[in-house]
Amino acid sequence: VFRQEDTDHNYYISKTYGPSDPMSKDLWVNIDQMNKEKVKIHGILSNTHRQAARVNLSFDFPFYGHFLREITVATGGFIYTGDVVHRMLTATQYIAPLMANFDPSVSRNSTVIYFDNGTALVVQWDHVHLQDNYNLGSFTFQATLHNTGRIVFAYKEIPIEVSQISSVNHPVKVGLSDAFVVVHKIQQIPNVKRRTIYEYHRVELTKTKITNSTAVEMMPLPTCLQFTSCSTCISSQINFNCSWCHRLNRCSSGFDRHRQDWVDNSYDTKIALHLRDNQDSAVGRMQDTPPLHTGLILGILLVMLVMVAGVLVTVYVYHYPTSAASIFLIERRPSRWPAMKFRRGSGHPAYAEVEPVGQEKEGFIESEQC
């Protein structure tokens, strides 16, 4: 019996239960015993490869402090939580009990089913096979989203070690991810805007712990978004530095899905001022030291100015991604981000583009006509 608790994450605490732990059995939801009228077997998800379907929730589901009423279930063993649908659903904003290259169409016994009882949504990938290695056997696992924000991954059949699943044709991930989207106009091109998505946090669970009859339970930790008044916001004692925006009537750390509103209202000056204060104190300390050779002093000052300028530019670009300087630097990064096609609304989007092996991206860029 093993129970592993992970307290290193700011947004979630995760617990892993081994195959002989009674909690593993308790956390598995037997959908066969549920009201069959409420159990949905989605045709698109059960007969196609790399497809996704929008599912409406009957309750508000808190994810990284944001309340969701619609999610996207994908054949590849994960749930996409973003409201902007694009082809690279595997990149960010996901709940992944076992993301891999599953193809329900290769077997008549493969299905993707879900059940909403009003307080929780259970999604089960039932007897699904890997498209590029059918002979390994079938996988059966679940993800349960509770209205409290609690997330449970439960595994019934895992025929091989997850770490051995190939990621050549599809990313293999177990965990959570969220991101914020920033939209800005391109001054040089009229009537065109650019949408950039930044992954600000990720939970990566240990793949070697995922075997038959195991389970993972993730409990959400408090975020700034839960505070609804200025007094409770600024006096909060949590893992984040919360600030209150009177214009938005919102509490935030500056890193959430409302990031653009936060930046547009210029609530990122504290970091720049803090760096400037540190710079002034450093210069003051230098004046108290014994006299040094003029050339050495000038050299030290030059190095310090270059370092401070680099830090300030980095902070400015990171916290003001819509500025002209940020756009200039982003467009000229050594590693160019791939383009994504976005669209809103429900439907059954196909996702075909995946990350190259061994390369994780924190941002993606896309341009579209207004």
Token output for 70: 């619609």
Contact 142, 169 (CB under 8 A): no
Strands 151-157 and 139-146, by their bridges, are antiparallel
Contact 324, 184 (CB under 8 A): no
Give the Å distances, CA to CA, from 343 to 17, 86, 195: 39, 6, 11
Token output for 143: 């993800």
- How many Å apart are CA 52 and CA 348, to the nearest integer? 5
Q: Say what the pTM is.
A: 0.74
- How many Å apart are CA 339 and CA 86, to the nearest integer? 10
- How many Å apart are CA 252 and CA 238, to the nearest integer? 12
Coil, strand or helix at 182: strand
Contact 194, 335 (CB under 8 A): no
How open is the CA angle 14-16-19, to the nearest 5 degrees? 165
Q: Tell me, what's the pLDDT at 293?
A: 60
Cα–Cα nearest to 260, from 306, 204, 195: 195
Q: Tell me, what's the pLDDT at 49?
A: 86
Cα–Cα nearest to 366, from 84, 68, 93: 84
Q: Tell me, what's the pLDDT at 348?
A: 59
Q: Tell me, what's the pLDDT at 296?
A: 72
Compute, in degrees rounded to 10, the torsion defined by CA atoms 280, 281, 285, 288: 70
Residues of the chain with pLDDT under 70: 1-8, 42-43, 187-188, 266-293, 315, 317-349, 352-370
Cα–Cα nearest to 348, from 50, 83, 116, 123: 50
3-state SS, 246-275, equals CCCCEEECCCCCCHHHHHHCCCCHHHHHHH
For 206-233, give the DSSP string: -GGG--TTEEEEEEEPP-GGG--SHHHH
Q: Tell me, what's the pLDDT at 89?
A: 76
Residue in the block written with tokens 């309750």: 59
